[in-house]
């Protein structure tokens, strides 16, 4: 009894694991790719990095509160002092402990490029020398403003560039996710073609076996020659070799699609082919307008041009003399105890103006200005070249899209004709009214027509998603893809 249980356990343990099977449509494959593929994960993380950069930019426009503190500071050293009784300088030991803390609220002012600040400070000092004493120094409140009068205003350029950078990041995510959809279409139809070729190969093996049996019978009655019988036998052998190659290709295609979608590699995938798509008219001028508005590559060039203008402005400003100002008004008091440091505070004013004037730099600043100007011109030329390239790509893709819609109908009709022709030729061969060449040619045409139909569907859907990627617009439902992005977020 015990031996029987062990045997049953071993049978269960080494029983082959059943392979999970799943049926997928093209829409489902694209949905899974955008949700689970490594490409989609990478693109979403790239967007998150830009998102948090934009959040930091927005936060920098709000007031900030900071604390600065020196909790403990101890000095012990020899210092030079004047002895008034002896009228000489002497060295004396000095010991001192101090601590300080302060709060500051800062608000950037983008229009002028300066910063308003509100401060409060407290300092403590204890002297352990010959004359021991304790002091507290307080600044209950001080309000001020500091900025460069003629310098570079980084805040103004950030307000122009950062929103555009974030807008480009959002549209770049949509653009990249559409490229994931294109990749999903490629994997889908690669597997669809492999499955179709396997089915055709299986049918071909069965057909070749049948035809060879018929050929043997006809050879016995001298209806065909020995060479024709050998041709039928060769077709049977080639059909079996083709079937084995198709099984290998199917396994590779299934593994590639499963890996791309993040599925288990042993998943058995059955595809449901999409039907003939509805005809959609895409005006070229509308597609071009959508691309100019939404294409992240063009937005990236606008950002590059703005950054070039910023660098040129910085180089020009820094080539001239500069002046900065720091002005504040507040209160200050010193006392031997903490409460006294906040009693009857005295007025504290500060106005500071600093000037920097370049005298001789041997053309360094002028060179920086010319370099920044040349870089800006290069960016403008590159942007125009890229815009022309994208316009050409859109015009050709829209044209291909219209042609590929017609090719699907033509490929479908050719497949129906090839199927009918093969069936009739096979029947005629069975009754002896068709030769070997006719049946072989008919079979090849049938296989070619099936491949052409799948290829026509693939090319259509690739064009469909490429147009979506270049324009970020869904022409099937006539809605911008950015609306879907906003809904998801």
Question: What pLDDT is recorded for position 84?
Answer: 75
Residue 317, pLDDT above cutoff 60: yes
Average pLDDT over residues 391-402: 89
Burial-class residue 261 by CB neighbours within 10 Å (0-12, 13-18, 19+). Answer: buried
Residues 6+ apart with CB under 8 A from 458: 185, 186, 189, 192, 193
Question: What pLDDT is recorded for position 486?
Answer: 64
SS3 sequence, 271-326? EECCCCCCCCCCCHHHHHHHHHHHCHHHHHHHHHHHHHHHHHHHHHHHHCCEEEEE
How much is the mean pLDDT over the chain?
83
| Other CB atoms within 10 Å distance of the CB of residue 111 | 9
CB 327 within 8 A of CB 354: no
Which residue's structure tokens are 């590559």? 297
Range of weakest confidence among 174-188, 253-267, 284-298, 327-341: 327-341
Residues 6+ apart with CB under 8 A from 116: 106, 107, 109, 143, 144, 145
Average pLDDT over residues 283-299: 89
Residue 305, pLDDT above cutoff 50: yes
Question: What pLDDT is recorded for position 229?
Answer: 82
Distance CA 462, CA 100 (A): 67
Residue 10, pLDDT above cutoff 60: no
Question: What pLDDT is recorded for position 13?
Answer: 32
Q: How confident is the model at residue 168 (pLDDT cuts 50, 70, 90)?
A: very high
Average pLDDT over residues 297-315: 89
Question: What pLDDT is recorded for position 19?
Answer: 46
Closest CA to 452 of 401, 402, 418, 403: 418
Question: What pLDDT is recorded for position 86?
Answer: 80
Question: What pLDDT is recorded for position 489?
Answer: 57
How much of the chain exceeds pLDDT 90, in percent? 18
Distance CA 159, CA 61 (A): 9
- How would DSSP label each residue in 344-390? SPEEEEEEEEEEE-----TTHHHHHHHHHHHHHHHHHHHHHHHHHHH
Q: Express each pLDDT in 217-271 by its tens digit.
A: 878 887 778 888 888 888 889 889 989 999 999 999 999 999 998 888 888 888 8
Residues 6+ apart with CB under 8 A from 182: 462, 465, 466, 469
Q: How confident is the model at residue 45 (pLDDT cuts 50, 70, 90)?
A: very high
Q: Express each pLDDT in 96-109 by its tens digit.
A: 888 999 998 988 88
Distances 156 to 109, 151, 207, 300 between C-alpha atoms, Å: 9, 12, 77, 19
Which residue's structure tokens are 């291909």? 400
Range of weakest confidence among 16-20, 63-67, 209-213, 358-362: 16-20
Average pLDDT over residues 150-163: 84
Distance CA 481, CA 472 (A): 5
Q: How confident is the model at residue 335 (pLDDT cuts 50, 70, 90)?
A: confident
Question: What pLDDT is recorded for position 130?
Answer: 67
Residue 126, pLDDT above cutoff 60: yes
Question: What pLDDT is recorded for position 214?
Answer: 81
Task: State whether residue 200 is helix, strand or coil.
Answer: helix
Rg (CA), the chain: 40
Q: How confident is the model at residue 14 (pLDDT cuts 50, 70, 90)?
A: very low
Task: Report residue 85: phi and psi, to 5°.
Answer: -70, -40
């Amino acid at each position: 009894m015990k031996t029987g249980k062990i045997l049953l356990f071993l049978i269960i343990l080494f029983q082959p694991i059943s392979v999970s099977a799943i049926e997928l449509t093209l829409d489902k494959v694209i949905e899974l790719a955008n949700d689970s593929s490594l490409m989609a994960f990478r693109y979403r993380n790239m967007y998150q990095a830009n998102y948090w950069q934009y959040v930091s930019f927005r936060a920098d426009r709000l007031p900030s509160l900071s604390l600065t503190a020196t909790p403990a500071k101890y000095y012990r050293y020899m210092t030079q002092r004047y002895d008034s009784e002896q009228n000489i300088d002497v060295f004396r030991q000095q010991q001192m402990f101090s601590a300080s803390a302060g709060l500051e609220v800062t608000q950037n002012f983008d229009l002028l490029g300066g910063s308003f600040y509100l401060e409060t400070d407290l300092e403590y000092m204890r002297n352990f020398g010959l004359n021991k004493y304790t002091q507290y120094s307080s600044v209950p409140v001080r309000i001020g403003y500091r900025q460069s009068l003629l310098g570079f205003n980084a805040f103004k350029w950030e307000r122009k560039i950062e929103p555009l950078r974030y807008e480009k990041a959002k549209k770049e995510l949509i653009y990249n996710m559409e490229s994931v959809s294109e990749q999903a279409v490629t994997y889908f139809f690669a597997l669809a073609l492999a499955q179709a070729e396997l089915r055709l190969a299986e049918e071909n093996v069965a057909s070749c076996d049948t035809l060879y049996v018929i050929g043997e019978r006809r050879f016995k009655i001298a209806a065909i020659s020995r060479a024709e019988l050998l041709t039928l036998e060769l077709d049977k052998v080639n059909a079996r070799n083709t079937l084995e190659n198709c099984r290998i290709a199917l396994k590779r295609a299934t593994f590639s699609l499963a890996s791309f979608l993040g599925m288990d590699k042993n998943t058995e995938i059955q595809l449901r082919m999409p039907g003939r798509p509805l005809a959609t008219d895409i005006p070229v001028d509308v597609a071009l307008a959508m691309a100019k508005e939404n294409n992240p590559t063009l937005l990236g060039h606008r950002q590059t041009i703005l950054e070039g203008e910023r660098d040129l402005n910085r180089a020009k400003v820094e080539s001239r003399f500069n002046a900065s100002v720091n002005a504040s008004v507040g209160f200050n008091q010193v006392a031997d105890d903490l409460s006294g440091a906040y009693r009857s505070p005295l007025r504290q004013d500060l106005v500071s103006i600093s000037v920097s004037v370049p005298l001789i730099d041997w053309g360094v600043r002028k060179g920086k200005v010319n370099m920044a100007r040349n870089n800006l011109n290069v960016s403008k030329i590159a942007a125009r070249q890229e815009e022309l390239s994208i316009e050409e790509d859109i015009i050709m893709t829209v044209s291909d899209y219209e042609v590929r819609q017609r090719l699907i109908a033509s490929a479908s009709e050719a497949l129906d004709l090839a199927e009918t022709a093969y069936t009739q030729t096979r029947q005629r061969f069975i009754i002896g009214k068709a030769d070997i060449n006719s049946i072989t040619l008919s079979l090849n045409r049938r296989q070619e027509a099936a491949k052409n139909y799948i290829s026509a569907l693939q090319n259509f859907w690739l064009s469909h998603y490429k147009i979506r990627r270049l324009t970020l617009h869904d022409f099937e439902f006539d809605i911008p893809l950015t609306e879907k992005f906003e809904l998801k977020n």
